[in-house]
A and B are shown apart, each in its own frame.
Chain A
Amino acid sequence: MSQENFEQFKQLVLQDTALQQQLRSISDRDQMVALTQRLGAERGYSFTTEDVWAALHASQREWIERWLQR
């Protein structure tokens, strides 16, 4: 459920340039994950930092494996 909440928050971010700029400015992964969780919570999206890490790792894996999926 909380992963679904993260996905919903992600859709919000993709439509909100201010949120995009705020999140894009972070180069450290720990800070980025923490900020994502906090910004989500402030807007009523309930998910944990573990959910964000899981999404980050899944997306990273998919990107690395792109050469296998062409």
Chain B
Amino acid sequence: MKAMHLVGWTPIRIFWRGLEPFVDWVLLGDQRPTEPFFEQTIGHAMHLPFNILFRQRTPVAALKELQQINPGVPPKGFIFHMSRCGSTLVSQMLASLPRNIVLSEAPPIDSVLRAYAQFPHVTDEQRIDWLRGLISALGQRRHEAEQDLFIKFDSWHLLDLPLIERAFPGVPWIFLYREPVEVMASHLRNRGGQMLPGYIKPEWLDLNLETASRLSLDEYCARVLAKFCETALQHKDVGRSLFVNYRQLPDIFFSSLLDHFQVSYTPDELEQMRRVTQFNAKSPGMNFTSDTADKQQAVTEEIRQLAARRVGPLYEQLEAERTA
């Protein structure tokens, strides 16, 4: 398959056969990835029998070949977050404009960044190479209006921020965070995969799989959140960073965040983005209602103490940095 035949096709999956990575591609056609998560965009695409029957498969090298003949829109901004803290709202506001391509927690990006988990032989240089090719392919312009590409990463990708910065130097990034007890309350209600031992490298938490598995899930969750906050603080000078507290949303989006990403919009576009804030970002069919009080009340005293002891000091440091 020649790269020219991949123009307009979207990589939806990276997987391994033996020690070699491959890519599955489908035709999204006119479909813009406006769903809260890219996984949902893939799900819609796979409802079409064409994409089941004619899904095509290439070696991972095809990503770079396509990049050379049809480079995608370069990234304009990156969104990192500690999870459950408003990042989907930010990505949905950006995605509401036809001029923006927004990739929200795209599984193929995760497959590249976490390739080391199954395949320790994979080098950082390979991951950088694949990441550039993949994001270029995902950022192909399929509509005339599309000008800018934004990527919301999975929460644990923050740990790879230096590698992402090497792949895309100078792209402005934000780190979203929230009062730790509220984030823990959200995971208590519906625990994310990253909060289960083994999903991210235990070594990142100064643990091994055995010691990680012996911790209570709440203790483990607090340590993961602490690591995310600590990593954001460590890397604050890498590239151009901005720390954003959940409490500042949505106003900060209009007052600082757009400037940080070096974009400006018309009054109509701003109004269009403001309308998004009326709805639940993860379930746009529902109106938004604040759950801060519910989350504060939902946690046990033990979780409150865990959040305060493990994450609290780092949260305060983030606040100090943000308000400095």
Point out residues on A near B: beta carbons under 8 Å.
10, 13-15, 17, 20, 23-24, 26-29, 32-33, 36, 52, 55-56, 59-60, 63, 66, 69-70
Contact = CB atoms under 8 A, between A and B. Distances in A.
B257 to A, nearest CB: 34
A63 B270 CA distance: 39
A23 to B, nearest CB: 5
Interface of B: 1-2, 5, 8, 13, 15-16, 27, 29, 46-56, 111, 118
A69 B15 contact: yes
A24 B8 CA distance: 13
A3 B17 CA distance: 23
A23 B15 contact: no
B54 A13 contact: yes
Contacts of B46: 63
B53 A56 contact: yes
Contact of A63 (B2, B52, B118): B52
A24 B52 contact: no
A60 B50 contact: no
Contact of B50 (A15, A24, A66, A69): A24
A20 B30 CA distance: 13
Contact of A32 (B2, B29, B49, B56): B49
A23 B8 CA distance: 15
28 contacts: A10-B54, A14-B54, A14-B56, A15-B1, A15-B2, A15-B5, A17-B8, A20-B50, A20-B54, A23-B50, A24-B27, A24-B29, A24-B48, A24-B51, A27-B48, A27-B49, A28-B49, A32-B49, A32-B50, A33-B49, A36-B53, A56-B52, A59-B55, A63-B46, A63-B52, A66-B15, A70-B111, A70-B118
